[in-house]
Amino acid sequence: MSSDPQSIFIAHRRELLAWLTYRVHDMHVAQDMLQELFLRFIEVTAVAPVQDARAYLFQMARNMLIDMARQQEARKTAAVAPEELVHIKDTAPGPDQSLAGRQRLLQLAEALQELPPLTQDIFMRVRVQEQSYQQVANALDISTSSVQKHLARALAHAMARLPLH
């Protein structure tokens, strides 16, 4: 058998399609999954060769079925009568709260502008982009201790500049 990923996949295509169709009970869904499986297999084999391609393909297909079942379970919602929806409290902020939030955000932005550019960058990466200290340290070629110190400086400055509400 050829070591070309496309040839390997084609050699197992019929068997995979039959197996997927049997499990999902829908030929179109099985074909879509097979296409996705092909793309994933090509990506994986581009990085490193696969020893037992057939076993690997079937394990990938099993994993896709598990992912599909999880997604379907997450999408399920219980049927609720429309009159029951009336009693659900609206938790969205009102216009006053939205305005106050925007004003505090502007105050925070102004306070951050007063900080050195590196401290601003670190604050944005950690607090807004949700990067870890290690990720920020690696990206900026500094120690994690430096990241922590800059972040502490930014937070202390913001706390001092923003009035408590």
Structural domain range at position 117: 103-161
Q: In terms of pTM, does the model score above 0.85?
A: no
Two structure tokens written together for 76 = 């399920």
The answer to whether residue 44 is domain-embedded is yes
Looking at 60, 75, 90, the residue that finishes a domain is 75
Q: At 106, which helix (H) or strand (E)? A: helix 95-113
More confident residue, 89 or 135: 135
Dist. CA 123–CA 34, nearest whole Å: 44
Interval 54-68 mean pLDDT: 94
pLDDT for 148 beyond 90: yes
**What pLDDT is attached to residue 119?**
93
Dist. CA 103–CA 152, nearest whole Å: 23
**What pLDDT is attached to residue 49?**
83
111 & 64 share domain? no
Contact 154, 123 (CB under 8 A): yes
